[in-house]
Structure 1
Amino acid sequence: MRNRIFRSMLLLAVVTILIGSLLSGAVTHAALTERVHAEVRSEAKILSLLLPEGGTQTLFEQASQANPATRLTLIDTDGTVLFDSMADPATMENHADRLEVRLAMQVGTGEESRNSGTRGEKTYYYALRLENGQILRMAAASDGIWEIFLRQAGWLLAAMIPVLLFAAWLANRQTRAIVAPLLTLDLDRPMNNDVYDELSPLLVRMERQRTEIARQIDALDKQQQEFAAITGQMQEGLAVLDAKLQVLSLNRSAAALFGVDADTVRGRSFLTLSRDGSLSQVLSRAVSAGESGSAELSLGGRCYQLIATPVRPGAGGIGGVVLLSLDITEQKQAEQLRREFTANVSHELKTPLTSISGYAEMIESGIVRQEDLVPFAARIHSEASRMIQLVEDLLALSRLDEQAVLPDSRPVGLLAVSKRVADRLSELARTQKVTISVEGTDQTVQGDPALLEELVANLCENAIKYNRPGGSVTVSLSCEDRRPCLRVSDTGVGIAKEHQSRVFERFYRVDKSRSKETGGTGLGLSIVKHIAQLHRATLSLTSEDGQGTTVQVLFPAQE
C-alpha cells in the first residue's frame, strides 16, 4: 500500500508540474504575443506620424535598420507593393487581397496572424492607412507555444529534474506520514485508535468482528474443554481423524493404548501409530466408501475391538473418521472360558454316561454272567453318583455366580465349622490312610454358615484325596492383623509352580488320571474361590512339588 500511495502522489506531482508548466507557458506566450502585437502597432503609428517630415525611402530604410526583426511594407492604393524591407517589391504579388490590407483600406487599420509566404513562419501583420490612402504595413514573427517550448526544452528539463526529485522526496515523506498511523493501529482494541475519521466505520466493524470472534473462540474453548473432559474420563479409546486419516484428537485412553503422547501425534497419520493390516483396511473403507467397520487388535497382552465410523458434515462428502476402541479382553476370556466350560462339562458327562451305557448294554444283551451283575451294578452306581456330584457342583457354582451378597449373613465360629468338617471326613481320611486335625483358637467371621462349611469341606477333601498314605491334613485357625485366618495344609504330592495360578479355574486338574481315580469333578477349588469372594476374603496358595500344599483364606477384619 505504501508503494501504491507513493506512486500515486508522485504521478500526481508530475502531472501537476506538467500541466502547470503548460498553462504557465500558454499564459506567457499570450502575454508575449500581445506585447509583440502592441509594439508593432505602436511602431506603425509612430512611423506614420514621421512620414510627412522626411523622405519615404530614406525613412523606411532607417526604420528597417533600427529594428531588423520588424518587416516594413508600403502598399499603394491599388495593392501594389511600393517598398518591402525584406523582399524586392518587383517580385512581390499584389497585396490588395490581404485581409489586413483590405481592413485598413476600409476602416483605417487591420491585422491578421498567418504564416508568411516570404519568411515561412507565423507572422503578425498590422496595416495602417496613411493620409494619402497608401497602406503602411508592419509585420513581426510570432512563434507558437510549442516552438517556445522546444527552444526552451533543455532549460525546462534541467529545471524539472530538481523539482521532480523534490516532489519524489516530498511524496515519500507524505506517504510515510499517511501510512504511519495505519501501521501503529492497535487491532486488539480498535476503538482506542485515534486515526483518520474515514477509518471510523472500518474500526467499528473490526471491533464488532473482534468481539464476535472472541465470543466464538470462548464458546469453542468451552466446548473443547467439555469434550476433552468427557473423553478424558472415558475408559474407551477415542480418536478423531480427518479425511486424510491424520490425527485431530486422541483421548487419554487411546494415547495410552498406542503408547504415544496425544499432543505430539496431532497432525500425524494414524497409520504411523498402528500398521495393522485389518485396521488399515477398515479405515480406508470408511474414508473412501463411507462404510462403518471394525477390527480386532492385540496390544500389550490385551484384545481390543476398534470401530471406525465415517463422519459426513452437512451434505458434503466424508470429512473424517471417528475411531472407538473397546477393551474386549474379558469378553474374549469369558468366551474362551465358556467354550472350555462347555467342552469340559460335555467331557465330564460323556465319560460316565459312556460307562453307564456300556455296562447297561452288556447286561441287556445277556452276555454278563450272573456273578458279574453286582460288580457291574456297582460301577453303574459309581458313575451315576459321579454325575450327580458333578451336577450338584455345577448348580452350586451357578448359585454362587448369581449371588451378589450373602443370603444368610451372621457371625460364624470357624472352629466349630472346621471340627464338623473334620468329623464328617474322618471316614474318608481313614480310607486314604490320612490323619486330619484342627488346631488354633476360634475365629468369628461374618458370613453364611453353609457356604463356609462347604469351603472348609472342599479344601479338606482335596487335601485328603491328593495326599500320601500315612500323610496328614491340618486345619489351622489364627488371627493376623485383626483378620481371621484359615489354613488347610497337607503333606501330599504338592502342585508344580506352572499349575498353581490355574488350580482355582473350573475343571482344571493338575493330574487328570489321579482326579479320575479319586472321583473329583474339578470344580471344588473353583467353588472355594467363589465362596471366598462372596465373603471378601483373600485366597492364596503355597505349594512345593512333592512336599505338600497350604491354602490360606484371610477374611476381612471384623468390627
Structure 2
Amino acid sequence: QQEVIRHLRLAEAMLDSGRLSPPDMAYLRRFAQRVSRATGCRVTLIDSTGRVLVDSDIAPSQIGRLDNHLHRPEVQAALKHPEGTAVRYSVSLGRSFVYACRKLGEPAWGFLRLALPEEIVGKHIGAFRLRLLGVGVIIGVVAALAWMIHLSRMYQDIQQLRIGVQPISPRSQKVTLPHPSDPELAAFSHRLERQFSRLLRELQSLDREKNELRTILASIKDGIIAIDAHRRIMLCNEVARQMLDDLPRNPAQRYFYQVIRNPHLHSLINRFFEQPFLMNDRIETDQGTVLEVDIVPFREGDASGPGAVVVLRDVTQMHQLEKIRRDFVANVSHEFKTPLTAVRGYAETLLDWALERSQMRRKYVEKILQHAIQLENLVNDLLQLARIERMSRPELQPFDPLPILREVAETYREAARRKGLSFSLSTGEAPPTILGEPEMFRSILANLIDNAIKYTPSGGSVAISWAVEENSCTFMVRDTGIGIPQSEQERIFERFYRVDKARSRSIGGTGLGLSIVKHLAELQQAEVWVNSEENQGSCFGVVFQVDKLSGNLAVNRKIDEGN
C-alpha cells in the first residue's frame, strides 16, 4: 500500500490541474496511460459524482458501462483522509487490486485512483520473504552454534506439532496433537488441542445449521430473498431466482438494486427501507406472472437498522380465477338485469293503465312471458354449464350417432319451417360409430342447430352433414345466416360473449350455448371449429374420434337403408 501511495503522490504532482475543469478527456487519457506505463499501476480518474472518466485498463467505449464509483471503499476513505486505501476484488476486471485514492482540489473536483494488481504485490512480498528468510538463516546459524542441542530438540518438538496440526473441516471426527517433551510446548499443545476441539464442534454445528437452512429453503415453494441493513443480499433461494428470472446465478453480497430489475419490486423494497414496516402488494413480471410480495423486517446482530425478508408467492392462477369470477358476476348480473327491467316495466304499465285495455293487456302479458322464458333459459343454461364444469371426464363409449342425428333434426325441423328456413339432413353415406357420450353429443347438436335457426333470417337454409376421415368424423351444422366477423371468431366460445348483443337478446339468446358446446366437446376429447363469413353464413364443426374396434365405418351404407 505504501508503494501505491508513493506512486499516487508522484502522479498527482504530474497532473496538470488546469485541464481538469472542464475535463480535457484526450489529455486525461494520455496522462492515465503514461502514468500506468511508468508505474505498472491501473490509473482511474473519477469525477465528484462517482462517474468514471478515464481508466487505463478499460477501453473508452466501455467506460460508460462501469458502475458508479462514489461508494467504493477507497473513494469514501479519500473523502475523509488525505489518502484512501483498500484491498478488494474488482468486478470490472475480475482481479484483486490494492487501491489508493486521493481527492483532487478543494472543493473536490474528483478523485485520482491508482491500483496495483495483488499478484504483483504478492511478488514483492515473496521477494521480501526471501530476504527475511536469508536473515533468519544467518541468525539461526549463529544461534545454533550456542544452543545447538537445545534448539535441535525444540525443533523436533515443533516439527511434531506442525505435522500433527491438520486442516480442520466439519467432517473431522477428532483433533489429536502430539505431546512434545519440552514442558512449555507440551502445555501449548494441550491448550491448542482444546481450542481446536472447541472450534471443530462449532464448525460442525454451523455446518448442520447451514445444511438445515439450505434444505428448508429448497423445500419452500415461495421465493425468499434476505437483504441486510446495508441493502446487500444475504441469501436468495432458487425459487426466487426462477420467479425473477433476471437475477444472476449467485446474487449474495451484492446490493439489491444491482440485481433486482423489476421496477415495482424495486420500489417496494426502497419504501420498506425508508419506513420499515410490514408490506404486502402484488407485482407482475415481464412474463405476465403475478407475484404476491410480503416484506417483513428482521434484526441482524448489532446492525444499525433492520434488514428485510422478501417473500414471493406465485398467485397467477388465483389472480386469473378472481378475474374470471368478477367477469362472471358482472355478466350474470347484466344478463338478469335486462329482462327483469323489461318485466318490471311491462308490469308497472299494466298496473298504471293497460289492464283496462284487453288488446294492450294481452300484448304486455305476452312480453312478460317472453322475458320470463328468456330468464328461465338463462337459468337452465347456467345450471347446465355449472354441472358440466364440475363434471369429470366421462368414460368414452362407442355409439351410433345416426339415430341421435335423426331425432334432433326432427325436433328442430318444425321450428325451421315456422321461420321459413330450408332444413336438411345429409342423405349420403351414414356416419361411422364414434367414441363419446350420447347425451352430450345430443346436447352439442341441439345447441348448434338452435343457434343456426336463431341467427338465420327467413328464406335461408340450415344443413346438417358429416365428413369421414381415417380416424375421425366431423359433424357440421351449416347455415346462411348473419355470419361472424373474423375478428370476433376467437371469442365466441366465451361465456356471455355475443357478436351483436341487441339482436341476440331480441331472439332469446343467452350467450352460453357455444360455451356449453365447447365444454361438452372437450369432455369427450372432441374438437370444435368454426368457419364463418359476415353476411354469408357460418359452419360449425365438431370432430369426434372414430371407434376403430367396432369396425363400423359404414362403407356404402346409406341413411335410407332400413327405414
TM-score range, shorter-chain basis? 0.5 to 0.7
Partner Cα distance (2:178, 2:487) in 1: 81
**Residues 379 and 167 of structure 1, relative CA distance in 2, 3 Å threshold:** closer
Question: What's the CA shift string for 1:73-101, capped at 9, x where partnerless?
Answer: xxxxxxxxxxxxxxxxxxxxxxxxxxxxx
Question: What's the CA shift string for 1:198-246, capped at 9, x where partnerless?
Answer: 3532453355246435533552453244235313xx3x43333333443
Counterpart of 2:318 in structure 1 is 331
Counterparts of 1:91-110 in structure 2 under 5 Å?
A: none
**Identical residues among aligned pairs (%):** 29
Residue 389 of structure 1 and its aligned partner are, at CA, apart by: 1.0
Question: What's the CA shift string for 1:53-81, capped at 9, x where partnerless?
Answer: xxxxxxxxxxxxxxxxxxxxxxxxxxxxx
Contact 1:344 1:507 (C-alpha < 8 Å) held by counterparts: yes
Residue 441 of structure 1 and its aligned partner are, at CA, apart by: 1.5
Contact 2:475 2:543 (C-alpha < 8 Å) held by counterparts: yes
Q: Which amino acid aligns with 1:453?
A: R
Contact 1:485 1:552 (C-alpha < 8 Å) held by counterparts: yes
Residue 494 of structure 1 and its aligned partner are, at CA, apart by: 3.5
Q: Which amino acid aligns with 2:490?
A: S
Q: Which amino acid aligns with 1:508?
A: Y
Counterpart of 2:340 in structure 1 is 353
Counterpart of 1:476 in structure 2 is 466
Residue 527 of structure 1 and its aligned partner are, at CA, apart by: 1.6
1:462 paired to 2:451: yes
Counterpart of 1:264 in structure 2 is 250
Counterpart of 1:387 in structure 2 is 375
**Residues 166 and 304 of structure 1, relative CA distance in 2, 3 Å threshold:** closer
1:375 paired to 2:354: no
Partner Cα distance (2:365, 2:225) in 1: 67
- From 205, 213, 222, give the equivalent of 1:216: 205
Q: SS at the partner of 1:505?
A: coil
Counterpart of 2:82 in structure 1 is none
1:187 paired to 2:175: no
**Residues 504 and 194 of structure 1, relative CA distance in 2, 3 Å threshold:** farther
Partner Cα distance (1:381, 1:520) in 2: 15
Q: SS at the partner of 2:492?
A: coil
Residue 294 of structure 1 and its aligned partner are, at CA, apart by: 0.8
Partner Cα distance (2:362, 2:199) in 1: 101
Unaligned runs of 5+ in 1: 1-164
Partner Cα distance (1:253, 1:489) in 2: 51
- From 204, 207, 224, give the equivalent of 1:238: 224
1:444 paired to 2:416: no
- From 518, 526, 543, give the equivalent of 1:529: 518
Q: Which amino acid aligns with 2:400?
A: G
Contact 2:177 2:193 (C-alpha < 8 Å) held by counterparts: no
**Residues 172 and 358 of structure 1, relative CA distance in 2, 3 Å threshold:** farther
**Residues 382 and 168 of structure 1, relative CA distance in 2, 3 Å threshold:** closer
Equivalent pairs, count: 389
Q: SS at the partner of 1:404?
A: coil
Contact 1:352 1:387 (C-alpha < 8 Å) held by counterparts: yes
Unaligned runs of 5+ in 2: 1-136, 169-174, 550-563
1:495 paired to 2:484: yes
Counterpart of 1:435 in structure 2 is 423
Partner Cα distance (1:499, 1:172) in 2: 101
Contact 1:252 1:262 (C-alpha < 8 Å) held by counterparts: no
- From 335, 342, 346, give the equivalent of 2:329: 342
Contact 1:434 1:472 (C-alpha < 8 Å) held by counterparts: yes
Q: Which amino acid aligns with 1:419?
A: R
Residue 511 of structure 1 and its aligned partner are, at CA, apart by: 1.7
Question: What's the CA shift string for 1:404-434, capped at 9, x where partnerless?
Answer: 355x986543333232222211123332524
Residue 526 of structure 1 and its aligned partner are, at CA, apart by: 1.5
Counterpart of 2:353 in structure 1 is 366
Structure with greater Cα Rg: 1
- TM-score in terms of structure 2 length: 0.58
Q: SS at the partner of 2:312?
A: strand
**Residues 436 and 183 of structure 1, relative CA distance in 2, 3 Å threshold:** farther
Contact 2:466 2:473 (C-alpha < 8 Å) held by counterparts: no
Partner Cα distance (2:383, 2:252) in 1: 54
Partner Cα distance (2:539, 2:442) in 1: 18
Q: Which amino acid aligns with 2:521?
A: A
**Residues 298 and 382 of structure 1, relative CA distance in 2, 3 Å threshold:** same
- TM-score in terms of structure 1 length: 0.58
RMSD: 4.1
Q: Which amino acid aligns with 1:416?
A: P
Q: SS at the partner of 2:365?
A: helix
Q: Which amino acid aligns with 2:433?
A: Q
Q: Which amino acid aligns with 2:508?
A: G
Question: What's the CA shift string for 1:160-182, capped at 9, x where partnerless?
Answer: xxxxx987862599999969847
Partner Cα distance (1:321, 1:259) in 2: 21
Contact 1:415 1:477 (C-alpha < 8 Å) held by counterparts: no
Counterpart of 1:421 in structure 2 is 408
Partner Cα distance (2:450, 2:432) in 1: 21
Counterpart of 1:255 in structure 2 is 241
Counterpart of 1:396 in structure 2 is 384
